[in-house]
Structure 1
């Protein structure tokens, strides 16, 4: 059965033009509730908003289906990155972009539009399909907060797919774990012109520590980055505090722990080795080093049920799938940590997290055909 591409396009545009930055997904959630209730689906909103700070919870939409197939869950996130205020979708042929001053929002509204179109097509054509649960999460873009607050016991499915990566007919079967690090260096403030000898420059200490870090690609499985440095109040005041924020990722939990500890050690050494050159400083520097586990490793076996389900669906539509290992985290990492099997499917989105984001209608339609095959 062919996908109704123009309806898919209209749904996609509607979704993209509903602003939904992280923690403000409520309008998208209300739209989805309306759409799926019209299909007589079971729609539930969880209480995760209390934990995430979003204006809505995660949505769980359940269709019982009529085929005796293993239940499957399909996941998309409702939030987008910034800038996302007043998104206006432009269409040229089958290519969608924003007006250039915001993101498009195809990450992840392309996936949402695909799921809506698939369920509409199945129902209006009375096509039999297996049990399916749709999970729409909040706050994915700011630390996977929605899925972390989701109760996996609500799901009947043990296998699933997150529609949330670039390309077409790509399946992500592995992704790294990540730790976020926050190093807060405490120095001593002093007047930079009158009595600099009495101060301890926290920014200088931070710079020395950063210079001693190994950043970028650490090995074939691991990366590290410092992405934010904050400190100081005025040019004539020796800065009392500096905050350094970064991340470490690895496909090996063991390596992640090692590299995280090495990073801590570099900062600690700079602080412990500090000496007062003039003997006039009022105090010593100190360090507060915080490690925030962001998400765990995702690693699916090539013989797992979820991979076999994808291969069977691809065979039904004569599609060739490309199985890949990714460098970033997603809701799928958390679903897998819950003991579920969750692979990531591409939706066709391209140049995501930028104002140059784009997607082709035909690529969304191909994704929809694959998802339909997963259910039938």
Structure 2
């Protein structure tokens, strides 16, 4: 294994990781971590002129501090341009994280998540640039991409202008745990929401004069579950998953505000995922039909029903690379050279890779030690992190087939 391992200063790599873990940058508020990464790149020898930000944040529909960070490294040998990607943001549970080393792990203090997802990726891309420059390693032209708002909807990757990638022909995305795992595909997602307008009435004096929006929604969800559209979905024409995330009222409030009033408004929001866009849409439409039957089941004493508006929109597309795709072959070769056993994975969660593939850059995702993500038990496995660093370096420097 060591005979194929590119040079790596493990202590310096871990220092980068610890520093980035200490910088807050939850989704939508990435300015500080972007500045820290930019500073580290300049100290590593990357010219300031090679470091830039795009304007994706101006196209993202929710407030976002900064655009995607993009770095262009000229090649030292001919070859097609490679793209290495990761995301800057963490989930809100990482706010205030205090990383500390505990044996072969970096952990938090137990009150927050750590942010290894995805400060491991940030560190690896900085280590990649630093090591290439320090050792003058031969490599083709490389673009480094640090996206924003991955955790809240893959927005940075979605709003990316593909022209900013400089014609990259393939991408290695760093956003996983086990370096033996190679994510080559992922589900797509469709978001749906329903607004139900019922009719208020005194629940004790004249409940029959009201139309309960809560009951319409509850029956709709029960119908969706009965018909096999809720949770794990397996039908003759496809498979996927679904979930209800919000059942409430206006502006984040409860659906009702008193027990003696028939609820006149409810808002429900959920998602549908599938390996195919068509079946994700079919799941959403299954929920729509279920809510319409819920509407028909609840009437006042005059036979009136609630008003209902159901909408569904794609969130991100699915993708699935063949094992013979050039980027998969390159990753497989590099992993094998490091003594790893490639395990091809199709992910049930969305990644920036979904949108990068849609933008025309076939993308695989590699692991780098992040574990128990999005929980207060999150940690970084440092040996796996070091292996992820070596894998990225090898992917950048091996000769084309």
Q: Aligning the two structures, in what range does the TM-score lie when normalised by the shorter sequence?
A: over 0.9
Q: Distance in 1 between matches of 2:314 and 2:194?
A: 15
Greater alpha carbon shift after TM alignment, 346-355 vs 255-264: 255-264
Deviation digits for residues 22-55 of structure 1, max 9, x if unmatched? Answer: 1100001111222223322411101122222211
SS in structure 1 of the partner of residue 18 of structure 2: helix
2:120 is aligned with 1:90: no
Gaps of 5+ in 2: 1-5, 249-254
Report the counterpart of residue 244 of structure 2 in structure 1. Answer: 226
Report the counterpart of residue 373 of structure 1 in structure 2. Answer: 394
Once the two structures are superposed, the pairs formed by residues 42-57 of structure 1 within 5 Å of their partners are 42-52=50-60, 53-57=63-67
Aligned match of 1:29 in 4, 29, 34?
A: 34
Distance 1:25 1:225, change over 3 A: same
How far 1:173 sits from its partner (Å)?
A: 0.8
Aligned match of 1:314 in 335, 338, 343?
A: 335
Report the counterpart of residue 109 of structure 2 in structure 1. Answer: 99
Report the counterpart of residue 271 of structure 1 in structure 2. Answer: 295
Q: Distance in 2 between matches of 1:70 and 1:242?
A: 53
Report the counterpart of residue 331 of structure 1 in structure 2. Answer: 352
Deviation digits for residues 145-176 of structure 1, max 9, x if unmatched? Answer: 11111101111202102111232221111111
Q: How many residues align?
A: 373
Greater alpha carbon shift after TM alignment, 45-54 vs 136-145: 45-54
| 8 Å CA contact retained: 1:59, 1:135 | yes
Report the counterpart of residue 207 of structure 2 in structure 1. Answer: 196
Report the counterpart of residue 40 of structure 1 in structure 2. Answer: 46
| 8 Å CA contact retained: 1:24, 1:79 | yes
How far 1:116 sits from its partner (Å)?
A: 1.1
Report the counterpart of residue 251 of structure 1 in structure 2. Answer: 275
Deviation digits for residues 193-249 of structure 1, max 9, x if unmatched? Answer: 233222111111111000111312112731111122111122222111111111111
| 8 Å CA contact retained: 2:336, 2:342 | no
How far 1:272 sits from its partner (Å)?
A: 3.4
| 8 Å CA contact retained: 2:37, 2:122 | no
Deviation digits for residues 322-356 of structure 1, max 9, x if unmatched? Answer: 11111110110011111220111111211101110
| 8 Å CA contact retained: 2:215, 2:298 | no
Deviation digits for residues 89-110 of structure 1, max 9, x if unmatched? Answer: 0211221111111110000110
Q: Distance in 1 between matches of 2:79 and 2:275?
A: 33
Q: Distance in 1 between matches of 2:336 and 2:207?
A: 72
TM-score (norm 1): 0.95
Gaps of 5+ in 1: none
Q: What is the aligned-residue RMSD (CA, Å)?
A: 1.6
4+ residue runs of structure 1 moved beyond 6 angstroms?
A: none
Q: Distance in 1 between matches of 2:109 and 2:77?
A: 43
| 8 Å CA contact retained: 2:272, 2:281 | no
Q: Distance in 1 between matches of 2:65 and 2:207?
A: 48
Once the two structures are superposed, the pairs formed by residues 151-300 of structure 1 within 5 Å of their partners are 151-155=161-165, 156-213=167-224, 214=228, 215-219=230-234, 221-230=239-248, 231-276=255-300, 278-279=301-302, 284-300=305-321
Report the counterpart of residue 112 of structure 1 in structure 2. Answer: 122
| 8 Å CA contact retained: 1:253, 1:297 | yes
SS in structure 1 of the partner of residue 19 of structure 2: helix
| 8 Å CA contact retained: 1:48, 1:58 | yes
Report the counterpart of residue 129 of structure 1 in structure 2. Answer: 139
Q: Distance in 2 between matches of 1:71 and 1:227?
A: 40
TM-score (norm 2): 0.89
Distance 1:191 1:275, change over 3 A: closer
Report the counterpart of residue 3 of structure 2 in structure 1. Answer: none
Aligned match of 2:24 in 7, 12, 19?
A: 19
SS in structure 2 of the partner of residue 11 of structure 1: helix
